[in-house]
Amino acid sequence: MAVQPRPLEPPVDPVAAFERICYLLDRSLAPTTKVKAFTRAAAVVAELPADELARRARARSLEDLPGIGKSSAKVIVEAVEGRLPAYLADLEAAVVAPATDAGAVLRRALRGDCHCHSTWSDGGASIADMATTALALGHEYLVLTDHSPRLTIAHGLNRERLLAQLDEIAALNAELAPFRILTGMEVDILDDGTLDLDDDLLDRLDVVVASVHRKLAMDRVTMTTRMVRAVTHPKVAILGHCTGRKLSSDGVQPASDREPVRAPSTFDAELVFTACAQTGTAVEINCRPERQDPPDDLLDLALRIGCRVAIDTDAHAPGQLEWQAYGCDKAAVHGIDPARIVNTWPADDLLAWASPG
């Protein structure tokens, strides 16, 4: 599906309306089932001749088509009649990712996003769609970081698939220049702190994000040892979502009297962040609204120790690339100097830091 990163004005093509609806639903962290329903509707409409679509809209017989339900039929009718569909208008008003004035200054300073996923692992869009959306949002580069092989629940990339992905990225870079897709991976930190990817493949990547995804409830000492070993690996550039917490399943922060849906890991943050500072590994400000990781106290600690940071969306769909606004607001509250944020740097500077030698 094509990407519609900007609001539409009537008259609206029905397929374009569905594409924008899917974009906004992804941005709101809506259930995947809802996004897929509108994606199916778009595919059905795209196959219909314009005159048949108009006839069915007039006859109100769109729901006779497989994949077209009540909501999608109403979108089509309103679009065919030259109106902005009400469903789309409501989403435009409700689904926003605004930045504060201070956050907006940081957002304008960002040149790219260092953590995102595509359909090569557990994302919902192609590399091309993620890249063209990033370009439309003003980025100069996007680091593609699909999951590593043993994270099978996220359809992690084995050796053969990663090498094929690198070929696809090279071809897309030739088409999209001067915009750049930088190669990367979100590598799982294994139980003993080793990385879930062979060293020769790590050496092929521009930017490596290392994250803990399994056994988050390890005891404090073991988790600390595990994380320190990972962040001191010479190819690890960024420590991803350091606590692994999830505040909610839908992006809405839980009330103060409720527990998060996934508790944060416990580790000696001073030791881990000191290791990051000493090796130059950046601590990620994960912008996903249901993560908001690290918590404020840990971010303050990382900054006091001297860590660099990366403001990353961890986007799994094009609309989620706009979530950088949340991380920029957080960084502004903490008074972070833009020069300390690695994705304010030009691509060549980022590469020289992330892949020294």
- The band of 7, judged by pLDDT with boundaries at 50, 70 and 90, is confident
Mean pLDDT, residues 156-168: 97
Is-cis flag, bond preceding 98, omega within 30?
Answer: no
Asked whether this chain's domains 14-94 and 101-354 adopt the same fold, the reply is no
pLDDT, average across residues 142-165: 96
What average pLDDT does range 302-307 have in this prediction? Answer: 98
Q: Nearest 5°: phi and psi at 195?
A: -105, 145
pLDDT in tens, 80-130: 999 999 999 999 988 777 778 999 999 999 999 999 999 999 999 999 999
Weakest mean pLDDT among 163-172, 235-244, 257-266, 267-276: 257-266
What are the contacts of 96-100 at 24+ separation with CB within 8 A?
A: 97/27, 97/322, 97/323, 97/325, 97/326, 98/325, 99/325, 99/328, 99/329, 100/329, 100/332
What percent of the chain is predicted at pLDDT more than 70? 95
- pLDDT tens column, 317-343: 999 999 999 999 999 999 999 999 999
pLDDT (0 to 100) of residue 251: 64
**pLDDT for 253 beyond 80:** no
| This prediction's pTM | 0.92
| Dihedral sign, Cα of residue 135, residue 182, residue 345, residue 232 | positive
Look at the alpha carbons of 43, 48, 49, 51 in this order and tell me if their dihedral is positive or negative: negative
Confidence (pLDDT) at 256: 52
Confidence of residue 250 (pLDDT cuts 50, 70, 90): low
Domains of the chain by residue range: 14-94, 101-354
Round to whole Å and give the CA distance between 353 and 282.
10
Check pLDDT > 90 for residue 252: no
pLDDT bucket at 52, cuts 50 / 70 / 90: very high
Task: Please report which confidence band the pLDDT of residue 193 belongs to, taking 50, 70 and 90 as the band edges.
Answer: very high
Closest Cα partner for 130 from 168, 75, 187, 90? 168
Give domain 14-94's CATH number out of 1.10.150, 1.10.3470, 1.10.3720, 3.30.70. Answer: 1.10.150
Average pLDDT over residues 193-208: 97
Position 200 scores a pLDDT of 96
Residue from 288, 268, 279, 265 nearest 308 by CA: 279
- Whether 258 has a pLDDT exceeding 90, the answer reads no
pLDDT at residue 357 greater than cutoff 80 = no
pLDDT given for residue 242 in this prediction: 97
Instruction: Report residue 260's pLDDT band, with 50, 70 and 90 as the boundaries.
Output: confident
CATH number 3.20.20.480 given to 101-354 = no
Answer yes or no: are the C-beta atoms of 237 and 183 closer than 8 Å: no
Contact 322, 97 (CB under 8 A): yes
Contact between residue 71 and residue 91 where contact means Cβ atoms under 8 Å apart: no
**Strand pairing of 282-286 and 309-312?**
parallel
Lowest-confidence segment of 15-24, 88-97, 201-210, 247-256 by average pLDDT: 247-256
Q: Is the pLDDT of residue 235 over 80?
A: yes
**14-28, 207-221, 248-262: the lowest-pLDDT one:** 248-262
Give the chain's mean pLDDT: 93
In percent, the amount of the chain with pLDDT more than 90 equals 86
pLDDT of 4 reads 64
- Residues 140, 110: Cα–Cα separation, whole Å: 9
